């Protein structure tokens, strides 16, 4: 009889004299923070929500826009995007807004690298770094459903799902069957003999080892087999994430939350391309930012509700373990151009939501020229003697929240401790 991975699991359970523990328990009880990144591609206009500039003399005021605030977070409200106010009403106390982050470029690719890795000259981005330095063994440390990833040393920690379900094909073997390359798998009898040989060697190893070594060895192997089975059994379907003319952010996020719940991943990335996938790069028709923010915040509310409903890997709720990072690679110039759009701008915003976040606050802002306020990193207050924020400060903050020492990765950059609870 052919021995599958499950047969090995059963065999190993018999050696250890007990029932296999579920993966969350095998992952260890020490715990670590997980991170879900939501990337808004193209450069959002922060003045539509995060950085109110309604009374600026040179700006054309948005019709229906008004200043609002919930739980210490000021924002621009408009009846045309009710999901923004609804989100803050429900989750402002768990949210911190960071304003005035400078990316010091106006080209998309360079800005993405600067906001995600703190440098445009190579290096590993924040999720890849956090995933690589996980305290647990993860089969897919950083899973990218959609969006950018930049790696140098930690490429092996990044796994892309693929828009055409490539990961599923690799897991179930259909990728080989669908390949143009001729594949000749071994006959079933050869596979059976191979499995039997491996099983025999395992029995010999168990018989010759002392009890503590045997228990540790078999437990570790059993854990690895279980996690591989989980990943193989979990059908990562990406085709279903399309709803009409855009991806379904909540469904994309659910793939990652599944991986978090099972203990298979530490970080994940999804991408928001705006209403009908039109993108946030509104050089024309800046009014589309209104549509984009409405759909983004509607999906964020769904993601939060999903997160709150799930058990954690090592705690009662997954919400106690996951920080959500919502960001874009750049902002948009405060003033409309002749085409009714806005050009690229070096200052942007980010939202941190959930575990480890000191919520109910908006840190930083823009002055009348659209430049970021320097802030005191400890208090979050604007200060002339403070620090001008960059993408590297966001990275240092995430590393610190994830239990890493930012000085091991960034030179002379301190975390924004005011963000952390």
- The answer, yes or no, to whether residue 171 has pLDDT greater than 90, is no
Q: What is the DSSP letter of 94?
A: G
Least confident of 74-78, 215-219, 367-371: 215-219
- Both tokens of residue 6? 């499950």
According to the model, what pLDDT value does residue 244 have? 81
Q: What's the pLDDT band for 382 if we cut at 50, 70, 90?
A: very high
Q: Using one digit for the tens of pLDDT, what is the confidence trace for 328-356? A: 999 999 999 999 999 999 999 999 999 99
Q: For the beta carbon of residue 234, count every other beta carbon within 10 angstroms.
A: 16
According to the model, what pLDDT value does residue 22 have? 39
According to the model, what pLDDT value does residue 333 have? 95
According to the model, what pLDDT value does residue 348 have? 98
Q: What's the pLDDT band for 108 if we cut at 50, 70, 90?
A: very high
Mean pLDDT across the chain:
87
Q: Using one digit for the tens of pLDDT, what is the confidence trace for 2-17? A: 334 444 444 344 333 3
Q: Write down the domain spans for the chain.
A: 31-165+236-419
Rounded Cα distance, 398 and 42, in Å: 23
Mention the CATH class of domain 31-165+236-419.
alpha beta
Which element (helix H / strand E) includes 230? helix 211-233
- The answer, yes or no, to whether residue 93 has pLDDT greater than 80, is yes
| Angle, alpha carbons 318-267-138 (nearest 5°) | 90
According to the model, what pLDDT value does residue 400 have? 97
Q: Using one digit for the tens of pLDDT, what is the confidence trace for 252-262? A: 999 999 999 98
- The answer, yes or no, to whether residue 24 has pLDDT greater than 70, is no
- The answer, yes or no, to whether residue 23 has pLDDT greater than 50, is no
CA distances, 414 to each of 53, 82, 397 (Å):
29, 36, 8
Kindly state the average pLDDT of the residues 299-304.
Answer: 98
Kindly state the average pLDDT of the residues 108-131.
Answer: 96
Kindly state the average pLDDT of the residues 274-295.
Answer: 97
CA 255 from centre of chain: 11
Least confident of 17-26, 204-213, 381-390: 17-26
According to the model, what pLDDT value does residue 32 have? 94
Rounded Cα distance, 80 and 294, in Å: 8
């Amino acid at each position: 009889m052919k021995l599958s991975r499950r047969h090995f699991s059963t065999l190993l359970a018999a050696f250890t004299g007990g029932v296999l523990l579920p993966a969350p328990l095998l992952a260890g009880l020490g715990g670590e923070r997980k991170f879900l990144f939501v990337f808004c591609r193209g450069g959002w206009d922060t003045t539509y929500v995060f950085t109110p500039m309604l009374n600026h003399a040179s700006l054309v005021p948005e019709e229906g826009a008004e200043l609002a605030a919930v739980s210490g977070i000021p924002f621009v409200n408009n009846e045309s995007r009710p999901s923004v106010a609804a989100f803050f009403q429900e989750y402002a106390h768990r949210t911190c807004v960071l304003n005035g982050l400078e990316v010091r470029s106006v080209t998309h690719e360079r800005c993405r690298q600067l906001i995600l890795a703190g440098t445009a000259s190579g290096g590993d981005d924040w999720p890849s770094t956090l995933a690589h330095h996980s305290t647990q063994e993860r089969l897919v440390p950083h899973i990218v459903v959609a969006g950018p990833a930049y790696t140098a040393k930690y490429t092996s920690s990044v796994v892309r799902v693929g828009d055409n379900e490539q990961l599923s094909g690799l897991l179930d073997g259909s990728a080989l069957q669908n390949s143009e390359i001729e594949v000749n798998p071994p006959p079933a009898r050869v596979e059976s003999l191979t499995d039997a040989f491996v099983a025999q060697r395992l029995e010999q190893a168990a018989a010759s080892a002392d009890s503590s070594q045997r228990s540790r060895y078999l437990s570790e192997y059993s854990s690895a087999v279980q996690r591989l089975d989980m990943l193989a059994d979990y059908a990562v379907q990406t085709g279903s994430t399309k709803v009409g003319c855009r991806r379904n952010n909540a469904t994309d996020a659910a793939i990652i939350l599944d991986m978090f719940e099972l203990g298979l991943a530490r970080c994940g990335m999804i991408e928001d391309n705006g209403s009908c996938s039109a993108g946030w790069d509104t050089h024309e028709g800046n009014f589309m930012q209104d549509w984009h923010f409405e759909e983004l915040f509607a999906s964020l509310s769904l993601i939060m509700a999903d997160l709150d409903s799930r058990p954690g890997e090592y705690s009662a709720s997954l919400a106690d373990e996951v920080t959500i990072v919502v960001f874009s690679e750049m902002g948009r110039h405060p003033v409309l151009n002749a085409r009714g759009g806005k050009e690229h701008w070096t200052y942007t915003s980010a939202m941190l939501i959930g575990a480890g976040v000191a919520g109910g606050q908006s840190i930083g802002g823009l002055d009348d020229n659209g430049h970021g306020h320097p802030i005191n990193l400890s208090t979050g207050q604007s200060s002339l003697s403070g620090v001008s924020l960059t993408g590297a400060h966001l990275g240092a903050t995430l590393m610190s929240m994830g239990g890493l020492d930012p000085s091991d990765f960034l030179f002379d950059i301190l975390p924004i401790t005011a963000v952390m609870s």
